[in-house]
Amino acid sequence: MGFLTKAEARADEKIVTTPESNSTSSDKPKTEKNSYNDQDSSPKEWGYDLYPERRSEGFKPKWSRVFLGLEGHENIDKLKCERNVYWCAKNSPLVKLMMGALKSSGCPIDLRRHISCEVCDTTVTGGYDPVLNQIVVCQNMARKQGMVQGVLTHEMIHMFDYCNNELDFRNIDHLACTEIRAANLAHCSFLSAMMQGDASLFNIKQAHQNCVKSKALASVLAVRNVSRQAAIEAVERVFPKCYNDLEPIGRRIRRNSPDQHRAYMEGPMYGYDVY
């Protein structure tokens, strides 16, 4: 296997609404699938230790946790997760916009092929696997529709970047850029910045940028075995360009605002075949 990009943490459960893309036959990422094979021997370095079902051994419930009722109902969780994914694909403005943008870019999404509900480490809610071109929704962590929408939007931005921009997740600058874009377009608001300590009433102007930098940094550190200083330098290096890239949503989504619906309605203006 290769590695996955990390979705936002549990604290963002009430994020704006929000894994996937590319056709099963002629999708772009398939042409580069073998380029990641040299990373197969180091799953920890690339984040695969966070997604046990991405590894050959799969997820194995512990009998002690089964006895306590904490594990052992994975099939039920998977069914609920898939139901939430389907609901988001039909009802979430941002998810529908992202699916339309991916389709217009030549990377249409098949829910059964490109989105997978799996058991994950408790530190993540989802991820994007560029090797299999799949979005992972963590069924044990993203249990509500709002959280699933956030995961889908976040990871579809990674998929969109991979489809359109020849993204190389092994390049830390590329990884930092797509994490900046995902946090910028799908997650950060003044309220969320306040909740994680990145803003106050005295630095409102920088609140959103600080939130984006913090989330991007946390995501890079979660999936790459690099020093904190190296991750910070990568985020700062690409931040101006990537922060100002609003494609394909076209605007930064404010919490509890009509921005999601506006972005969806504006999709055709940018040539996106919204669903």
Amino acid at 240: P
Alpha-helical segments (H) within the chain: 63-67, 74-91, 93-104, 111-114, 145-164, 172-186, 190-195, 204-223, 228-243, 259-266
The token pair that represents 186 in the structure block:
């799908």
* Active-site position among 74, 155, 166, 179: 155
Query: Identity (one letter) of the amino acid at 274?
Result: V
Q: What is the DSSP letter of 161?
A: H
Distance from C-alpha of 159 to C-alpha of 21, rounded to nearest angstrom:
6
User: Three-state secondary structure along 204-228?
Assistant: HHHHHHHHHHHHHHHHHHHHCCCCH
Is 32 noted as a catalytic residue in this protein? no
Cβ contacts of 79 within 8 Å, gap of 6 or more: none
What are the residue numbers of the active site?
155
